[in-house]
Amino acid sequence: MKLSLNWLKQYIDLDGISTDEVVENLTTAGLEVDEVIDQKKLYDNFVVGYVKERTKHPNADKLSLCKVEVGGEEFPIVCGAPNVDAGQKIILAKVGAKIPNEDFTISKSKIRGEVSMGMICSERELGISNEHEGIMVLDENIESGTTFGEAFGMNDVIIDIDITPNRADAFSHIGAARDLAAVFGRKLKLPELNLIETDEDVNSIASVEIENKVDCPRYVAKVVKNVTIKESPKWLKERLTAIGLRPINNVVDVTNFILYEVGQPLHAFDLDQLAENKIIIRSASKDEKFITLDSKERKLLDTDLLICDADKAVAIAGVMGGENSEVTNNTKNILIESAYFRPSSVRKTSKKLGLQTDASIRFERGCDVDGTVFAAQRAAQLIAELGNGKIAKGEIDVYPNAIAKKQVSLRIGRIKKVLGFEIPIKKVKEIFSGLEFELVSDAEETLVYSIPSFRHDIEREIDLIEEIARIYGYDNIPEIAKIGVSVERRVDHSSFNDKARETLSGLGFYEIITNSLLNKELASKYGNPVGVLNPQSVEMSHIRPSLLPGLLSTISRNIKVKESNLKLYEIGHTIRKFNDVINDFSDFEETEHLLFAITGLAETDEWYSKKREFDFYDLKGISNSFLKSVTNSDRVKIKYNQNSEEGIFEYSISNLVGKNKFAEGGKVKSSILKEFGISQDVFAFDINLTELKKNIVVLSKFNELLKFPKIKKDCAFILDSNIDYNSVVKIIRANSSNLLKNVKLFDIFESESLGVNKKSLAFELSYYDEKKTLTEEEVEKEFWKAIDAVKVKLNAELRG
């Protein structure tokens, strides 16, 4: 909300307090200042000028060349406005002037060959309205050379504050002034009423009936007759334009003024448009339609509250009035509504209609139920003054169930328990009296306060403690840097992932973090995804059931910028649903995954290497090293999946603990890659971390170092080429004792010379005995036993 400093000064004496101090103290009191605009500074270099001469621009039909005189000096100006003419008084933005809201500074320039030393401004360029048809032409009596600020009373400072949802009371100049009064220890000056009423009783003119007393606890109406609708006086227009409102007419302007003065939204009805001069507050009927002031037809629900006359609806309560009863230039008699609507009712309606107004924001946060009469009276007085109207006697005040003021107690000891320091009771009492809280009792170390009706946020002891801290100033609260050592068990959910990340960094992988929202079609290919009801766009409507799409998009984007050799990984959550309707956490599964992928070249052409593309064995090697680093790998089993129809891989290996598969990796199907515009191979490995962490405890145990020599033996077999490596190893192992510690394949050789469809596999077998030095004979025995088994079982031939 925008505050005008000049306006604020009507309610609090700020003598001796600088603007900077006001700004700082608003912020430290919880009304955070977003922006401060000093009009004087804003309009530096904007001056009143006199157009002495206007000629056509020689090189452009739509431009004029003007000579503008400013206090004796003359400036050549090129102007594009159609209405510029000699003899006008205008506002000239001189060289160096900064155009408000546009972040653009006037400089000396040449426009189509003609020098221009400034710009003649439109209202929009001055930031005072949206008028941009032509330049603003001033009253000819204004002296040239006068600054724009002087000429238009632009000496205000505009302070834009953020109001948190709990502080409905601060949504007005008086509300903000009240906080400042409490902080500075000064008095809040409320406007005084001076009502001159006729003898005609308001009750004889109009009547109010509340049907829905729950949503409308109080409705106050006041009537002003014979009002002349006209332009508002300068002071009122200045107040409104200062905070960015457009003046309309004296009646509407007064209601807006009161809204920003005391925070009570008002509505002015044309009394003569109200059938039977009657106001009825009732719930809408289902599907009832209503045309609001903005000329839009709104469809309503029976939870919406309507203001009606004897025949028809005339306003949506607390949100917006209707066209059918608005104040026009022909209006004579006015009924002012000053009501209190139930906050959640207004909020529901405003949300549903997508219609948030200055009124609805205040009603939904809670207005001052006790302030309704004052607001109506003050509005009546101003309308009467500005429109020569006559105020009918009294007001209609329908308030069937008065809302009692809350009383809240504060135990003195609790202040220290929560805030951590002693604060003198005298200071506490000062703070509350500054905020207009009334002390009801003070006994047994407990203060009881009666809470003003505009403070909806104060209900409990802790709320009072917050008020103390807020007004005392958070900066004045000491910082206790004594931090106790905790003896409770430390838990670190992220330690496994931390280790995984370290390992992958060491393996040359970059971590990526991708958007977990995908479009439905894409997401659905990787699992049954959960959708959101209100996505920003259809491209981001479903939660990822897999990390793969994000990773492939990343690869694709990188290839486009010529970064095509990639080792990437992501750790993140994936979500898949089991049932279409989600009622419970068991209807979906949220699991944490780690996905890494390699693509492009493993080695590039360098002076020391030949280029080589990543292949499956790179992936397998990396996944082995990775799993070995983060798990006790002897429990992990491998399964080989050649030619899988299902799933995302052309071929893959899976890792299991017991029967639980927790990882799978392989060559990503090219049909999938094609969807991402990727034409190079991608090998990816996906680990379900949730599953992995459940099953595997990382426990590194020390193994005794070897004390006796290892004996290594080599052998090579000629085999049918469809026999895989693993079957050979299995047979070797099955036919060896535990002296055999390692089997290493060190060569694969395929050649016609071996015979048709034959290949040679060369192995190195390592033998070791923990207890003694092995003899050559023992090893020979073992070695030949294994060789014979391979020869027999796989029809192999021992080579060379």
Q: Which of residues 326-345 bind another protein (CB under 8 A)?
A: 343-344
Token pair belonging to 305: 């509250």
How far apart are CB 561 and another protein at their closest, in Å? 6
Does 149 interact with another protein (rule: CB under 8 A)?
Answer: no
Selected range binding another protein among 105-113, 513-521, 632-640, 734-742, rule: CB under 8 A: 513-521
Q: Which is nearer to another protein, 399 or 588 (CB)?
A: 588
φ and ψ at residue 465, rounded to 5 degrees: -60, -40
Indicate which single residue of 531, 621, 709, 755 sits in contact with another protein (rule: CB under 8 A). 531
Continuous segment of H or E residues that includes residue 662: strand 660-668
**Binds another protein (CB under 8 A): choice among 45, 433, 516, 766:** 516
| The only residue of 423, 517, 627, 678 in contact with another protein, by rule CB under 8 A | 517
CB of 343 to another protein, least distance (A): 8
610 binds another protein (CB under 8 A): no
Contacts (CB under 8 A) with another protein, residues 366-405:
none
Does the protein bind another protein through residue 507 (CB under 8 A)?
A: yes
Which range in 143-151, 251-259, 514-522, 746-754 contacts another protein by CB under 8 A? 514-522
Nearest approach in angstroms of CB 693 to another protein is 11
Minimum Å distance from CB 446 to another protein?
15
Region 776-795 residues binding another protein, contact defined as CB under 8 A: none
DSSP string of 127-142? TS-S--SSPPEEPTTS
Collapsed DSSP state (helix, strand, coil) of residue 489: coil
Q: Are 54 and 66 in contact (CB under 8 A)?
A: yes
Do 188 and 372 contact (CB within 8 A), yes or no? no
State in angstroms the smallest separation of the CB of 168 from another protein. 9
Identify any residues that bridge with 656 across adjacent strands, giving them in sequence order: 637, 661
Q: Residue 719 in contact with residue 794, Cβ under 8 Å?
A: yes
Token look-up 């099953």 returns 695
> Of 258-266, 308-316, 508-516, 640-648, which part binds another protein (CB under 8 A)?
508-516
Question: Judged by CB under 8 A, how many residues of this single chain contact another protein?
Answer: 95
Question: Per the structure block, which two tokens stand in for 569?
Answer: 């990984």
Beta carbon of residue 2, minimum distance to another protein (angstroms, whole number): 19
Q: Between residues 585 and 702, which has the closer beta carbon with respect to another protein?
A: 585
**Window 714 to 773, contacts with another protein (CB under 8 A):** none
Pairing of strands 566-577, 510-511: parallel
- Quick note: the x/- pattern for another protein over 191-220, rule CB under 8 A, is ------------------------------
Say if strands 390-393 and 267-270 run parallel, antiparallel, or are unpaired.
unpaired
Closer CB to another protein, 269 or 496, in the complex: 496
Please give the Cα distance from 649 to 736 (Å, whole number): 35
User: Restricting to residues 352-371, which ones interact with another protein according to CB under 8 A?
Assistant: 364-365
The yes or no reply on residue 515 touching another protein (CB under 8 A) is yes
Minimum distance, C-beta of residue 460 to another protein, in the bound complex (Å): 7
Pick the stretch among 242-250, 332-340, 410-418, 719-727 that binds another protein (CB under 8 A).
410-418
- For 685, the token pair is 């490995």
Closest by Cα among 268, 275, 262 to 250 = 268
Q: Which of residues 21-40 bind another protein (CB under 8 A)?
A: 27-30, 32
Closer residue to another protein (CB): 493 or 701: 493
Under 8 Å between Cβ of 688 and 546: no
**CB-wise, 486 or 700, nearer to another protein?**
486
Contacts to another protein from residues 465-494, by CB under 8 A: 465-466, 469-470, 474-475, 477-486, 488-494
What is the DSSP track for 387-438? Answer: HT-EEEES-EEE-SSPPPPPEEEEEHHHHHHHHSS---HHHHHHHHHHTTPE
Give the shortest CB-337-to-another protein separation in angstroms.
22
C-alpha to C-alpha distance for 9 and 769, rounded to whole angstroms: 95
| Whole-number Å distance between alpha carbons of 355 and 374 | 27
Q: Tell me the window of 239-247, 313-321, 515-523, 739-747 that interacts with another protein (CB under 8 A).
A: 515-523
Of 14, 17, 70, 419, the residue at the interface with another protein (CB under 8 A) is 419
Query: Least distance (Å) from another protein to the CB of residue 720?
Result: 39
Which 441-460 residues touch another protein, going by CB under 8 A? 460
- Nearer CB in complex with another protein: 144/554: 554
Structure tokens at 584: 């419970």
Pairing state of beta strands 649-657 and 711-720?
unpaired
SS3 for 286-340 is CCCEEEECCCCEEECCCCCEEEECCCCEEEECCCEEEHHHCCCCCCCCEEEEEEE
* CB contact set of 603 (below 8 Å; sequence gap of 6+): 609, 610, 611, 612
Which CB sits closer to another protein, 432 or 509? 509
Nearer to another protein, 628 or 635 (CB): 628
The least CB distance from residue 605 to another protein, in Å, is 11
Min. distance of Cβ 466 from another protein in angstroms? 4
Start-to-end CA span in the chain (Å)? 91
Judged by CB under 8 A, the chain residues 539 through 598 that form the site for another protein are: 540, 543, 554, 557-558, 561, 563, 566-568, 572-573, 575, 581-583, 585, 588, 590
Q: Which is nearer to another protein, 196 or 462 (CB)?
A: 462
What distance in Å separates the CA atoms of residue 707 and residue 434, rounded to the nearest whole number? 85
Q: Dihedral sign for Cα 230, 235, 241, 243, please.
A: negative
Q: Is 505 in the site for another protein (CB under 8 A)?
A: yes
User: Quick one: CA torsion of 520, 525, 530, 531, rounded to 10 degrees?
Assistant: 0
Which is nearer to another protein, 298 or 342 (by Cβ)? Answer: 342
Do 154 and 126 meet the contact criterion of CB atoms below 8 Å apart?
no
185 burial level (CB within 10 Å; 0-12, 13-18, 19+): exposed
Cα gap 179→789, rounded to integer Å: 93
**Considering only CA atoms, which of 409, 298, 386 is closest in space to residue 334?**
386
Shortest separation between residue 430's beta carbon and another protein, angstroms: 18
Partners of 156 in the β-ladder: none
